């Protein structure tokens, strides 16, 4: 039998106090719905159906590149009603797994375990929570079998004292689900059609209800408010930090790291506090990242150090480099091995050859810098003429004096020595000193102006 997955993602999320659809609010830098879809795809379903409602156009456009069947829930009449919108497109004999777009941390292995339990007829996911407030409670008989789910607003005092809760995920045959949903009533406090009511209907038909639980309770934490979103974010980051520690990475503080993408680390990597990793980041063996750094889509080779408050974006960094503190590498920055980029230096769309240095207060943009080049403090490449970008080429073993201005397009030949304070607008010859600055003049007898 085939498996179809239905993701319920139509909720408005009023408590978020935002016009953005709830499932598009981000966890670890990505929409909550994206995390759910990633987990769903690991099951290789025949189709993924997303039921949308509030802000549906924006939700669809956000995931336009994905193979998703979209179904609209025009009226928000509960989870049971939402699933009913999707079932007409599912073959009656196929199985249906129901997920939620605002429960982003569900593990793929938890879903696999739930699907494997579907042979019983109906399988649901439950969790034991120290504080079950807000969740429907699982009611079992004396033999421990699930008999029904009662929503908190409809529960008695004894039922509210239960700590096993329903987290909403379930799997069953589509035909059976459609039959049960057709008999669900909205006689409850919220006057909604609860998907959870199918459990009691299944039991009444003699169908055994199997249950599975996640490894960690945070997997099934739903998001209905900014506070809950923050709690889910921390749960995600803490779990990521633990995985890094278990793989041999040294973290100064496991509570002060944010991974918003794919972070891969070699052996003996060290990461200080308050660092943010976005997109795809690869850190080679023995790389050290100082505090308060931001790395986005960066590859760093072995034995490189990134010092405090550095910002690296779409950059490639070779082995044994030293970057920062307060350095900025913008898209297209490439450093060969043993390159030093120091404090308040900005590199953009440029390559620095091996053993080259730009240690202080410089801007290198749209440049090709050779090997063993020294770029003095305050040096800038003037790469933009107001209409187009131009390149600067600096040959091997050049020495650029402090406060030099290199007006592109310009080429400095191998071994060029540029005097401090020079403005270089013409190509320079190899192994020669070039000085281009105004003659120093002292005006004898000059007196400063005085106020009248």
10 Å CB burial of residue 57 (0-12, 13-18, 19+) is exposed
Q: What is the H or E stretch that residue 166 is in? A: strand 164-173
Give pLDDT < 50 ranges for the chain. none
Q: What is the H or E stretch that residue 148 is in? A: strand 146-150
Q: Which residues pair with 410 in a beta bridge?
A: 392
Say what the pTM is: 0.90
3-state secondary structure of 269: coil
Calculate the alpha carbon distances from 425 to 240, 419, 429, 442 in Å.
51, 14, 13, 26
Going from the N-terminus, what domains does the chain have, and what CATH number goes with each? Answer: 3-220 (3.90.550.10), 247-434 (2.160.10.10)
Instruction: Give the per-residue SS3 of 409-433.
Output: CEEECCCCEECCCCEECCCECCCCE
What is the reported pLDDT for 1? 65
Q: What does the buried/exposed string (b/e) look like for 119-132 if buried means 16 or more CB atoms within 10 Å of the residue's CB?
A: eebbbbbbbebeeb
Which of the residues 17, 81, 112, 360 is marked catalytic?
Answer: 360
| Residue 390 annotated to the active site | no
Radius of gyration of the chain from Cα atoms? Answer: 31
- The per-residue DSSP string of 11-37 comes to ---GGG-SSS-GGGSEETTEEHHHHHH
């Amino acid at each position: 039998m085939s498996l179809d997955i239905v993701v319920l993602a139509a909720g408005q999320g009023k408590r978020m106090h935002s016009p953005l659809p709830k499932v598009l609010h981000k966890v670890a830098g990505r929409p909550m719905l994206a995390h759910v879809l990633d987990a769903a795809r690991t099951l290789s379903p025949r189709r993924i159906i997303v039921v949308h409602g509030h802000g549906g156009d924006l939700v669809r456009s956000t995931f336009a590149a994905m193979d998703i069947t979209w179904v609209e829930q025009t009226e928000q009449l509960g989870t049971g009603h939402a699933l009913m919108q999707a079932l007409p497109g599912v073959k009656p004999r196929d199985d249906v797994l129901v997920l939620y777009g605002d429960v982003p941390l569900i593990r793929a292995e938890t879903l696999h375990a739930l699907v494997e339990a579907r042979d019983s007829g109906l399988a649901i996911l439950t969790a034991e929570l120290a504080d079950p407030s807000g969740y429907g409670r699982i009611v079992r008989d004396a033999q421990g079998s699930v008999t029904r789910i009662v929503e908190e607003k409809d529960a008695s005092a004894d039922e509210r004292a239960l700590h096993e809760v329903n987290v909403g995920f379930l799997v069953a045959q589509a035909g059976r689900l459609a039959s049960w949903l057709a008999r669900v009533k909205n006689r409850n406090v919220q006057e909604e059609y609860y998907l959870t009511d199918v459990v009691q209907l299944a039991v009444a038909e003699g169908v055994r209800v199997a249950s599975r639980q996640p490894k960690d309770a945070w997997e099934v934490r739903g998001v209905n408010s900014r506070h809950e979103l923050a709690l889910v974010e921390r749960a995600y980051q803490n779990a990521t930090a633990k995985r890094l520690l278990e793989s041999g990475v040294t973290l100064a503080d496991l509570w002060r790291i944010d991974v918003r993408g794919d972070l891969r680390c070699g052996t003996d990597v060290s990461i200080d506090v308050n660092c943010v990793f976005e997109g795809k980041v690869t850190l080679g063996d023995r790389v050290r990242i100082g505090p308060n750094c931001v790395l986005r889509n960066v590859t760093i080779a072995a034995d490189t150090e990134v010092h405090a408050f550095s910002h690296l974006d779409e950059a490639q960094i070779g082995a044994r480099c030293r970057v920062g503190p307060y350095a900025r590498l913008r898209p297209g920055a490439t450093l060969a091995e043993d390159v030093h980029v120091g404090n308040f230096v900005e590199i953009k769309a440029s390559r620095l050859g091996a053993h080259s240095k730009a240690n202080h207060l410089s801007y290198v943009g749209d440049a090709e810098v050779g090997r063993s080049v020294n770029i003095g403090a305050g040096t800038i490449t003037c790469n933009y003429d107001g209409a187009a970008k131009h390149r600067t080429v600096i040959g091997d073993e050049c020495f650029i004096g402090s406060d030099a201005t290199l007006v592109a397009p310009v080429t400095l030949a191998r071994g060029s020595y540029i005097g401090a304070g020079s403005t270089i607008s013409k190509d320079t010859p190899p192994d020669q000193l070039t000085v281009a600055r105004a003659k120093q003049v002292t005006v004898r007898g000059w007196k400063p102006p005085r106020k009248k």
